[in-house]
Amino acid sequence: MDDLNSFDPIRRRMLQNGAKLAAAAAMGTALPAHLAYAAGAPEKTEIKIGFIPLTDCAPVVVAAVKGFDKKYGIKIVPSKEASWAAVRDKLINGENDASHVLYGLIYGVQMGIGGPKREMAITMGLNRNGQAITLSNALQAKGVKDGEGLGKLIAREKGEYTFAQTFPTGTHAMWLYYWLAANGVHPFKDVKTTTIPPPQMVANMRVGNMDGYCVGEPWNARAIVDRIGFTAITTQEIWTDHPEKVLGMTADFIAKYPNTARAMTAAVLDAARWCDAEANRAELAEIVADKSYVNTDVSVIAGRLKGEYDNGIGKKWKDAHYMRFFDDGAVNYPWLSDGMWFLTQHRRWGLLKEEPDYLAVAQKINRLDVYRDACTMLGISAPKEVTRSSKLLDGKTWDGKDAAAYAASFALKA
């Protein structure tokens, strides 16, 4: 497990100056030179961070737009990417320093699936909840309103339907497969699956290329506005307070620029705190909707960003588990068990051919040390535990204690 006492000299100085660093951050000012040294001055001051046009790119975008980066001695340059494959490639080849990225993508690259094998790192979570599964109006016309109805239809008409996710090892693929399986549908035997970049989901459903998809917002809300589909389930109904996007980079980046990685994580964490404040949500929707980022109508983003849901077929509700970016740091802590969960699903669906050392992989990727350093710079606390327990929609509990048994426990698997 993470060794809380294995501090390097720079980290020790930073901890000793934590109160002063937090005060400087709270004042919204750049760190004085002597404090920057105490924190470990960033080795690289201009950081290029990739993102996909999704509502949950917000912490990265806000860190740059609202100047949180300057408080920590760096400049963040957001880089808009066309697909998760492009995000992966630019991380691996060094064109981008870090990225707003799918949790499972980072784990896939680490394991040599879903891309070339490379040592990867996650320093924080960017958000939890706030994704959804959209089904087409054509399915609704056949009487499908939820997973149970879809399961019954597919039992009669196997192989006739296509569902899209955004990346083979990513979060959306795992939510989609988990939901289908929970409703008796094997995602590789009973239906066809395909990969579509998030911003292209709505257009592809409009022309009939798929019958359903799992993606982040605002592309589920957009389908309802455009009258081409409805929300069958939110991902928070699959796993309440689930991990979603992360701040990811190569392990080499942290090794080469450790102080920069700390500063970048602190800046994005500070921005995530701003994003999470209810008073800032209207402005946040305006920022993220801009053509430089998500490029859609503010109204399409604003509702679900505030937890105001309409499934498009008559149900409206205030969701208690809408997209969160901070929640006193609970959103951002890179729990080892969260990373391990994605490995269990990769194993379940045959993406991993052999049983991995779940804990060892998570300890490599999830850089609790960097995250805790960033917390110190902000003057906030981080949990001492490294795993958490959650119950998913099928009633199964995941706590990270016996990952191999958990992965093998599902009735539907590869």
d(CA 246, CA 389): 19
Q: Are 355 and 347 in contact (CB under 8 A)?
A: yes
In whole angstroms, give the CA distance from residue 320 to residue 382.
23
Q: Residue 256 pairs with which residues in a beta bridge?
A: none
CATH code for residues 9-128+243-305+325-385: 3.40.190.10
The whole-angstrom separation of Cα 406 and Cα 239 is 16
Q: Please, is 13 exposed, middle or buried when counting C-beta atoms within 10 Å of its C-beta (0-12, 13-18, 19+)?
A: middle
User: Of 131 and 158, which is predicted with more confidence?
Assistant: 131
pTM above 0.85, yes or no: yes
Summarize the confidence of residues 264-270 as an average pLDDT: 98
Domain ranges of the chain: 9-128+243-305+325-385
Would you state the pLDDT for residue 39? 57
Q: What is the pLDDT of residues 223-262, one digit of tens each?
A: 999 999 999 999 999 999 999 999 999 999 999 999 999 9
Q: What is the rounded distance in angstroms from the CA atom of residue 179 to the CA atom of residue 238?
A: 7
3 confidence band (pLDDT: 50, 70, 90): very low
Reported as a pLDDT band with limits 50, 70 and 90, residue 375 is: very high
* Strand ranges across the sheet with 98-102: 75-80, 46-51, 98-102, 245-250, 120-125
Q: What is the per-residue pLDDT for 321? A: 98
Those residues whose C-beta lies under 8 Å from the C-beta of residue 360, and which sit 6 or more positions away, are none
